[in-house]
Structure 1
Amino acid sequence: MASSLASLQRLDVSYNQLQTVPSAARSLPRLRHLELAANPITTLSNASFQGAIENLQSLDIRHLELIYFEHGALSRMTSLRTLYISPYSDVRDFNIPQRIQQNSGLRNLHIQVLEESDLEKELSGALPNKVRNITISGERLESVPQSLFKGVRSPSLHFTLRNTSVKTLPRSLFEQTSWVRNLSIDVRNNSLQSLGNPNTGEFPGVPRKMFTTELQLEGNRWTCDCQLGWIEVWLRKKRQYLCPEGRRECLEDDDLREARCENHNNESLIEVLKSEVECGWGSGSPATRPSWVLEVAVIGSTVIRILGHGVPDRPL
């Protein structure tokens, strides 16, 4: 069979009863895309992807029945660009960054959550330097770890959250992205109610700061208040800095108009922010502690000082 399929580039054997990676796939010299999802495969060893499979560009190993996933199982796949994977709770010490640390060419990481998990343990660690697209999906996911982006090493990141039960993405989540400078966010079709300001820079190009380049919010249950107030200001900044030639496709904000405010009779999010919510760029940010110092002379050299939080004491 393998000889007659020598020119085959994509093999989809998902949703079958395979218990191992098909041995025939190792003899397909032009095979670049292999989909194994939803098979009762229990083991992925260092020998599972030898032969021609090492030249794969995309691999789908979601929704298997893994109880053993050897650390070097994917290490020979130096051409791998896209990986679809699920967290495997039955695999001891399962950690995605550890399993893909040798895949230096990996750019796209898709994670489908099938069981209740916050992904804290599964995503701890540094990702390959070229990973620039992260997609997370699954209705069983109710929250994302604060360290989700800590392992990203690419200066540009496209983050997609799809079909989850996540209700909030706090600003603190994005403060972990020390390497990312340009961030695009697609969180359509979740259960989101709030989204903290992900921008750590006032505008694009600020050294060691991050600015959002795209934002897609449709299909959620937004609570439109000051936690989302930064969006209106961001939209003006985007038009000013990222649409210098007035390109129509850059200026349009159709998705933001389609996003709805559940606490405002499902009115358009962008219209509510413009007319009913008075906030600013700092909305959705952690409250800052006061930094004032009040000194009052009372008698002679006696001085009473009232210090705000975060102000170091100093000699009089």
Structure 2
Amino acid sequence: MEKMDVSHNMLLKIPSSSLSSLAALTLCELHLSNNFISTIHSMDLSNKFRSLRYLDISYNYLLRIDDAVFATMPKLAVLDLSHNRDLKVMDKSFMGLENSLIKLGLENVSLSTVPEIRLKYLREFRLGYNELPSIPQELAHNMSNLRMLDLSNNDLTNVPLMTQSLPHLRKLMLSGNPITSLNNNSFDGVNEDLEMLDISNFRLHYFEYGCLDSLPHLRSLKLTAYSHLEHFNIPQLLRHHYNIRQLWIEAPQPFTRIIKKGSGNTQEMQSVQMGMPTDLTREMEGHLPSKLTNITFSGPQFSSLNERILKGMRSPYLYMQLFNTSLQALPNNFFKNLGRVRNISLDIRYNNRMLKKIPNPNTGRVPYLPNSVFLTDLKMSNTDLNCDCDLGWVEFWQRKRRQYICSSQTWTDTVFRTFMNSPCQVYGRHNCDDHDDDLRETRCDNKGGLQLLEALKADLECGWDNASCKDSVLVLIAACIILIFWM
């Protein structure tokens, strides 16, 4: 046995006595999350677990970790102690793991200071959801090979200086901290090869457009649409970032800012409401980076989106995701204002409970036609939609997708050459069976929870299938009229 998962039970301690010495010796992964374990003794992790590489004890009731308690596991590479809210981490708790530990999770363990941890080979360190007001500079010297650092949802008021002493840092998460300003020097000294940055849900009062210019190799950026900041504009912020591939836009969260007015004895405190809702009309006006292909709109404060927010797209293909929004429908002309996009993949699976209507994204009849859009993939399982004639395009589109996208169909040489020589080949030709499963998991809110797939079979086509026939009839009638007049 190499893996054992006993998570989500009622265990009170690590079940080392349940395993023979031989069974424990071959074990590589041990999952113990969501139990009632309160202590870890050196006897629980005796020399039995000499081959253990992965240990998850998150979501338990740990109170304290003794010194060098993990020293008997020389191969341990991944350790997750997150979400033990009353855990007390000592300076020598990880003694013995200096040469093996690669990933360490200490999220939501009520840390107010970071213990002195010496893990020179550590690659990922998660410290989110704690109470850290600052990060000691010495921490960077003890883990100089760090690639990913998560400091989200702490009490940081500035970008920590220790991030400037991590020469191999590639991912930095700072969301949810009470940082009030981002200026042109905020990220000076941070490794210029940083690829992923999360600066969402700050309480910004001051912002400069050059704050990210020292990070030219960013590929993924997560930020909030700070609607309360005058002239805040995302394309302007990304004007020099030619490598951006992924953009995650969080809806602004309301918060109150206290402003002092007057002076001396006449000084008054006034509260100003920040983070008002927006449809991104102003925040998304302009040209987006040409390599940007993945955009996510997230947050319940998004109740509407302007139909022209993606007019500045310059990539020929787009993956768009809606995540936990309050949108009831996308605008009717949304997919007619996608800039240079020719092929789009749409994902609305994740908690968009109020979304009921999706207009037809297809303005072209085949993939990768100039000045037109073709839907290459649609994910909408676990969604309740209004199933009416406006959604009947799904069945007609499915047949077109099987003809041009799915590997089970035979292409003509002309269509194959046109499609595969275009940048759209990133989607490739693939198996479409999973898409039918997705339609089975999509329900019709106005038809008593009927599966969308069944509704399409019964009564939702509404003339979409006859569109090509109608076009042919019109052409035939026009030809007859011309012939009669000519005769």
CA contact (8 A) 1:230 1:280 kept: no
Deviation of 1:52 after TM superposition, in Å, equals 3.1
Q: Are residues 1:141 and 2:324 paired?
A: no
| 2:185 equivalent in structure 1 | 47
Structure 1 CA distance for aligned equivalents of residues 369 and 163 of structure 2:
48
Structure 2 CA distance for aligned equivalents of residues 280 and 64 of structure 1:
49
| 1:197 equivalent in structure 2 | 360
| 2:448 equivalent in structure 1 | 265
Q: Which runs of 5+ in 1 are unaligned?
A: 284-316
Cα deviation 1:153-205 (Å, max 9, x = unaligned): 11110000011110111330010113011100001231211111111101113
TM-score by length of 2: 0.56
Structure 2 CA distance for aligned equivalents of residues 140 and 179 of structure 1:
28
2:296 aligned counterpart, secondary structure: strand
| 1:166 equivalent in structure 2 | 327
1:134 aligned counterpart, secondary structure: strand
| 2:237 equivalent in structure 1 | 99
Larger Rg: 2
Structure 2 CA distance for aligned equivalents of residues 44 and 280 of structure 1:
54
**Residues 273 and 3 from structure 1, CA distance in 2 versus in 1: closer, same or farther, beyond 3 angstroms?**
same
**Which of 408, 432, 454 matches 1:250?**
432
CA RMSD after TM alignment: 1.9
Q: Please identify runs of 4+ aligned residues in structure 1 that moved more than 4 A.
A: none
- Supply the AA of the counterpart residue of 1:43: S
| 2:315 equivalent in structure 1 | 154
CA contact (8 A) 1:234 1:281 kept: no
Q: Are residues 1:24 and 2:197 paired?
A: no
Deviation of 1:282 after TM superposition, in Å, equals 8.8
**Residues 225 and 171 from structure 1, CA distance in 2 versus in 1: closer, same or farther, beyond 3 angstroms?**
same
Aligned length: 284
Structure 1 CA distance for aligned equivalents of residues 360 and 285 of structure 2:
23
**Which of 307, 330, 340 matches 1:179?**
340
| 2:46 equivalent in structure 1 | none
- Supply the AA of the counterpart residue of 2:454: E
Output aligned runs, 1:82-121, within 5 Å. 82-115=220-253, 116-121=277-282
Structure 1 CA distance for aligned equivalents of residues 234 and 212 of structure 2:
11
Structure 2 CA distance for aligned equivalents of residues 147 and 282 of structure 1:
29
2:404 aligned counterpart, secondary structure: helix
1:56 aligned counterpart, secondary structure: coil
| 1:274 equivalent in structure 2 | 457
Structure 2 CA distance for aligned equivalents of residues 250 and 110 of structure 1:
27
| 1:309 equivalent in structure 2 | none
More helix per residue? 2
**Residues 259 and 79 from structure 1, CA distance in 2 versus in 1: closer, same or farther, beyond 3 angstroms?**
same
2:457 aligned counterpart, secondary structure: helix
The percentage of counterpart residues that share the same residue type is: 45
- Supply the AA of the counterpart residue of 1:207: P
- Supply the AA of the counterpart residue of 1:228: L
**Which of 208, 211, 222 matches 2:374?**
211
**Residues 20 and 282 from structure 1, CA distance in 2 versus in 1: closer, same or farther, beyond 3 angstroms?**
farther
